[in-house]
């Protein structure tokens, strides 16, 4: 059975999307590497992701970080320990359950993350500012549908 011209065109379009997503992911990885180095020269990209997850308040326990980043416990433990040693994260009593502890980003971490984000978001923003608000909304919607 032969593919129709429409099927072939769709396959080519999908291949182009995959190619462009690969290029985008490569740029994102470079951005994470640069952001990590901005925060601290010894920080790895995954450590930067762990730190920003903690700083955002979206992941304040090892379990939440593992779930959010889809990585293993030993990697998260290693990076949290490094972040604590660098003075970027501290473990404090959970305000809702004093028996538990949560991870919080220090003021130093917040300052360095802000610098790293300013650099990265400045470059990204330059590219996206030429898009209309409708284009941006549609792009967000389409990206969200890929993750479902």
Considering just the CA atoms, what is the radius of gyration of the chain in Å? 19
How does residue 94 score in pLDDT terms, banded at 50, 70 and 90? Answer: confident
pLDDT: is 116 or 99 the higher one? 116
For the chain, which domains are there? 5-146 (1.10.10.10)
The mean pLDDT value for 69-96 works out to 94
How does residue 97 score in pLDDT terms, banded at 50, 70 and 90? Answer: confident
> DSSP labels for the chain?
-PPPHHHHHHHHHHHHHHHHHHHHHHHHHHHHHHHHHHH-TT--HHHHHHHHHHHTTS--SHHHHHHHHT--HHHHHHHHHHHHHTTSEEEEE-SS-TTSEEEEE-HHHHHHHHHHHHHHHHHHHHHHTTS-HHHHHHHHHHHHHHT-
How does residue 1 score in pLDDT terms, banded at 50, 70 and 90? Answer: low
Mean pLDDT of all residues belonging to the chain: 91
Residue 53, pLDDT above cutoff 80: yes
- Specify the pLDDT at position 123: 76
How does residue 2 score in pLDDT terms, banded at 50, 70 and 90? Answer: low
């Amino acid at each position: 059975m032969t593919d129709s011209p429409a099927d072939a065109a769709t396959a080519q379009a999908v291949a182009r999307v995959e190619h462009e997503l690969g290029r985008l992911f490569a740029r994102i990885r470079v951005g994470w590497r640069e952001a990590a180095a901005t925060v601290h020269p010894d920080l790895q990209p995954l450590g930067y992701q762990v730190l920003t997850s903690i700083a955002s308040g979206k992941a304040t326990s090892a379990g939440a970080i593992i779930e959010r980043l889809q990585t293993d416990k030993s990697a998260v433990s290693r990076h949290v320990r490094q972040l604590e040693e660098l003075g970027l994260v501290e473990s404090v009593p959970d305000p809702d359950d004093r028996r538990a502890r949560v991870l919080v980003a220090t003021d130093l971490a917040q300052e360095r993350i802000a610098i790293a984000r300013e650099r990265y978001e400045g470059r990204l923003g330059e590219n996206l500012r030429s898009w209309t608000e409708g284009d941006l909304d549609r792009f967000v919607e389409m990206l969200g549908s890929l993750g479902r």
